[in-house]
């Protein structure tokens, strides 16, 4: 059976981004696999901060890292739950996936394993200035994945949820 | 097994890989250039070498290319090798009273955290006073500040973080979207920052500054004297911070009943107050009283270390417990900072630097205070606050001697603003912890923090101009 992979690389994405992926999966009669990437780096950077600059030793810093990871994981499950509900409503088969480490390599390895026909990936809209210095995971995937990649660009401002999806690029 | 191929251009890969070696090569070359160039007029050879070490440490502390503590060790190594100070003098500086006071304060804070009394106190106060959204917010804000009077502000932020996360979840606040969620985390972080400058115990920067002051001029600042001098600043900043936060993020919930369920559950899980909690709390209370009343007579370090001995005599903690709560490496940084400060002062480099770089901009006492407090608060946004003191204070004290200003005043001008970074996570772990919740973003922190940055600087200078003369500390 055909499969569509939806990559959720940051929390707070909009409902319309999910709608787009579910709609495509329904149209293609494909299973929707949603991959949530946990940002392990965020917790580690807090830990490093405390090691190098802070006053505290390993224990409080590690407790903090674990807590941040736990929270991130919980939010990941909640995000996947949202996608699952939408998929069920539309009668689309759903497969949840969670991976630590929000890197292109991690997504590529999941693509190797799941072999989807298309990859939907979310991208936060960046200011033009920052585009010269950073590359988004979505852009890198579009370059390195040899199958259809649909980039759903969203406004960074999470308050404007209903009008969040700015455009969709198929590559 | 999958083979990962880096598809970036080869020049980019090589550039990234060679960045670190090039950085260190360039830094070493510059360091050697400063060492071997002819000494400028009015500067001794020892002074020139001290400045070279100072600049090297400055770059390393700002860039974090190596851990802060290792830069401290580098200063301790280079100062005697280059003949700026003798081996004996250099290593004796490491045995400074300030270093041992910080050591004692670390151990005491570790004992307080390990006993759980601080956690219990926080839960009790939040449950008792946080009856409404505004009340709960104010309680988080003031509690974070009050706890930072007696413990490191970073430790307080780490301790309150899990409680605030649970409160936010129990109230159904959505990360990144709920105003009240943002308010809770900003209150926690800003409360810690503001409370952290109120006493010697909020961070090691004030003892470190006093250590450098004492080593170079012989002057001292008492435990209580310091708190009296900064008291109005703390009160005004707490008020301004609360008002600003509630203006930027208006409260968007009407009741906080769910939070009390969580707090009560957590309190219940802690059980009854144990003997250890009582005893550690009592030791801390007695220690603070002794610092206030007997600090001048016996010395702050002696009192701190006596309390540490008491903790172990009464078996209130084990070394293993304490070990996990303190970052021992950072003590090396403080030792290195004191050595560096002394090297700049004793070689005459500090006074030369003042004349060359700053003298024309700050010829009046008020201007010197405004300039140095601005530099301090600006630098602390990008680097560790203890590093700011290590870098600025020796030069500042040199300035005080040149302009006949009381060096104690200029020590305040560096030590206090160095703890007031409200903007970026890299300068303040309390902000980093709050940002890791995803309830607030770095952009929001920078926006609100900038207003507090300006407010803190202005209020500090107003306090210096109008409050300090009332307590006998005015401009000469």
Nearest-5° Cα angle at A59, A53 to A65: 75
Contacts of B203 in chain A (CB under 8 A): 55
- Decide if A51 touches B, using CB distance below 8 A: yes
Name the residue of chain A whose CA is nearest to B440's CA: A158
What ipTM was predicted for this assembly?
0.73
Asked if residue A106 belongs to a domain, the reply is yes
In which order are the strands placed within the sheet that holds A118-124?
A: A94-100, A31-38, A3-8, A118-124, A148-154, A165-170
Strand bridging mode A118-124 / A94-100: unpaired
Asked if residue A94 belongs to a domain, the reply is yes
Asked if residue A67 belongs to a domain, the reply is no
- Decide if A53 touches B, using CB distance below 8 A: yes
For CA atoms B429, B431, B436, B442, the dihedral sign is: negative
Alpha-carbon distance A37 to nearest alpha carbon in chain B (angstroms): 15
Domain that residue A11 falls in: 3-40+73-170
Q: What are the φ and ψ backbone dihedral angles of B105, each rounded to 5 degrees?
A: -65, -40
DSSP string, A73-134: HHHHHHHHHHHHHHHHHTT--EEEEEEES--HHHHHHHHHHH--SEEEEEEE---HHHHTT-
B160 near A63, Cβ under 8 Å? no
Other C-beta atoms lying within 10 Å of the C-beta of residue B472: 7
pLDDT in the model for residue B77? 94
List all residues 6 or more positions away from A62 whose beta carbon is below 8 Å from its beta carbon.
A47
Contacts of B429 in chain A (CB under 8 A): 46, 49-50, 53-54
Asked if residue A60 belongs to a domain, the reply is no
Alpha-carbon distance A169 to nearest alpha carbon in chain B (angstroms): 22
Burial of B220 (0-12, 13-18, 19+ CB in 10 A): middle
The tally of domains found in chain A comes to 1
Q: What is the pTM of this model?
A: 0.83
CB contact under 8 A, A64 and B325: no
**Tokens encoding B345:** 């002062």
Contacts of B152 in chain A (CB under 8 A): 54-56
Asked if residue A93 belongs to a domain, the reply is yes
Nearest to B449 by CA among B392, B377, B389, B384: B377
Nearest to B417 by CA among B458, B462, B373: B373
CB contact under 8 A, B152 and A51: no
B420 near B215, Cβ under 8 Å? no
Nearest to A42 by CA among A62, A75, A72, A12: A72
Kindly provide the b/e burial profile for residues B24-52, where b requires at least 16 CB atoms within 10 angstroms of the residue's own CB: eeebeeebeebbeeeeeeebeebbbbbbb
Residue with tokens 């802060």: B68
Residues B439 and B307: their CA atoms lie apart, in Å, by: 39
Asked if residue A16 belongs to a domain, the reply is yes
Nearest to B167 by CA among B193, B133, B194: B133
Contacts of A136-141 spanning 24+ positions with Cβ under 8 A: A137/A7, A137/A9, A137/A102, A137/A103, A137/A104, A137/A107, A138/A9, A140/A104, A141/A7, A141/A104, A141/A107, A141/A108
Asked if residue A104 belongs to a domain, the reply is yes
The CATH number assigned to the domain holding A164 equals 3.40.50.620
Residues B35 and B27: their CA atoms lie apart, in Å, by: 12
pLDDT tens track of chain B, all 476 residues? 445 566 667 777 788 788 889 999 999 999 999 999 998 888 899 999 999 999 999 888 878 788 888 888 999 999 999 999 999 999 998 888 888 988 898 899 889 988 989 999 999 999 988 889 999 999 999 999 999 998 888 889 988 999 999 999 899 898 888 999 999 999 999 999 999 999 998 888 899 899 889 888 888 899 999 999 999 999 999 999 999 999 999 998 988 888 888 899 989 998 898 999 999 999 999 999 999 888 888 989 999 999 999 999 999 999 888 887 777 777 888 888 888 888 888 888 887 877 776 656 666 778 888 988 998 998 888 777 888 888 888 888 877 777 778 889 989 999 999 999 898 876 677 888 888 888 888 888 888 899 999 999 999 999 999 999 999 886 65
Counting one residue from A and one from B, how many pairs have CB atoms under 8 Å apart? 97
CB contact under 8 A, A64 and B7: no
Q: Would you call B190 helix, strand, or coil by DSSP? A: helix
B408 near B393, Cβ under 8 Å? no
B363 near B405, Cβ under 8 Å? no
A71 near B437, Cβ under 8 Å? yes
Asked if residue A98 belongs to a domain, the reply is yes
């Amino acid at each position: 059976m055909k499969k569509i992979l939806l990559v959720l690389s940051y929390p707070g994405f909009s409902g319309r981004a999910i709608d787009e992926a579910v709609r495509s999966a329904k149209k293609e009669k494909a299973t929707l696999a949603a991959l949530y990437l946990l940002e392990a780096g965020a917790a580690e950077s807090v830990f490093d901060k405390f090691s190098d600059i802070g006053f505290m030793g390993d224990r409080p810093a590690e407790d903090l890292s674990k807590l941040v990871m736990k929270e991130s994981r919980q939010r990941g499950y909640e995000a996947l739950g949202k996608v699952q509900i939408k998929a069920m409503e539309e009668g689309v088969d759903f497969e949840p996936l969670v991976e630590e480490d929000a890197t292109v390599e991690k997504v590529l390895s999941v693509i190797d394993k799941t072999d989807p026909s298309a990859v939907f990936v979310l991208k936060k809209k960046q200011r033009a200035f920052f585009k010269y210095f950073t590359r988004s995971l979505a852009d890198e995937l579009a370059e390195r994945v040899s199958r259809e990649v649909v980039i759903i660009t969203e406004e960074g401002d999470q308050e404007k949820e209903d009008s969040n999806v700015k455009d969709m690029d198929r590559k | 097994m999958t083979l990962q191929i880096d598809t970036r251009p080869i020049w980019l890969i090589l550039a990234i890989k060679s960045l670190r070696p090039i950085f260190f090569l360039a830094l070493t070359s510059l360091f050697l250039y400063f060492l071997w160039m002819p000494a400028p007029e009015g500067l001794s050879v020892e002074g020139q070498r001290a400045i070279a070490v100072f600049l090297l440490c400055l770059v390393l502390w700002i860039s974090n290319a190596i851990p802060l503590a290792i830069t401290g060790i580098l200063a301790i190594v280079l100062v005697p090798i280059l003949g700026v100070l003798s081996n004996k003098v250099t290593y004796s500086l490491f045995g400074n009273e300030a270093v041992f006071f910080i050591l004692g304060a670390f151990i005491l804070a570790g004992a307080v955290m390990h006993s759980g009394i601080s956690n219990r106190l926080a839960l009790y106060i939040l449950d008792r006073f946080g009856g409404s959204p505004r009340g709960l917010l104010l309680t988080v804000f003031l509690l974070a500040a009050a706890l930072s009077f007696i413990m490191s502000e970073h430790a307080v932020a780490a301790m309150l973080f899990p409680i605030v996360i649970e409160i936010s979840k129990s109230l159904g606040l959505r990360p990144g979207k709920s105003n009240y969620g943002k308010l809770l985390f900003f209150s926690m972080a800003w409360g810690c920052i503001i409370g952290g400058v109120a006493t010697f115990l909020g961070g090691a920067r004030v003892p470190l500054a006093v250590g450098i002051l004492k080593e170079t001029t012989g002057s001292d600042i008492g435990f209580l004297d310091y708190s009296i001098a900064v008291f109005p600043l703390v009160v005004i900043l707490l008020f301004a911070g609360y008002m600003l936060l509630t203006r930027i993020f208006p409260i968007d919930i009407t009741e906080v009943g769910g939070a009390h369920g969580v707090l009560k559950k957590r309190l219940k899980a802690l059980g009854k107050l144990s003997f250890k909690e009582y005893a550690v709390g009592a030791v801390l209370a007695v220690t603070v009283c002794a610092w206030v009343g007997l600090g001048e007579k016996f010395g702050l370090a002696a009192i701190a270390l006596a309390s540490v001995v008491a903790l172990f005599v009464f078996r209130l903690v084990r070394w293993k417990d304490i070990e996990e709560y303190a970052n021992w490496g950072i003590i090396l940084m403080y030792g290195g900072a004191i050595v560096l400060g002394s090297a700049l002062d004793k070689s005459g480099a500090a006074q030369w630097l003042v004349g060359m770089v700053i003298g024309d901009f700050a010829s009046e006492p008020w201007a010197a205070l405004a300039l140095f407090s601005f530099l301090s608060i600006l630098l602390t946004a990008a680097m560790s606050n203890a590093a700011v003191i290590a870098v600025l204070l020796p030069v500042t004290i040199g300035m005080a001697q040149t302009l006949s200003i009381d060096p104690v005043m200029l020590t305040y001008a560096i030590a206090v603003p160095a703890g007031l970074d409200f903007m970026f996570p890299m300068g303040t772990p309390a902000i980093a912890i709050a940002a890791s919740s995803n309830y607030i973003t770095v952009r929001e922190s920078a926006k609100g923090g900038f207003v507090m940055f300006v407010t803190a600087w202005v209020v500090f200078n107003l306090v210096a101009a109008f409050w300090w003369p009332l307590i006998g500390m005015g401009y000469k």
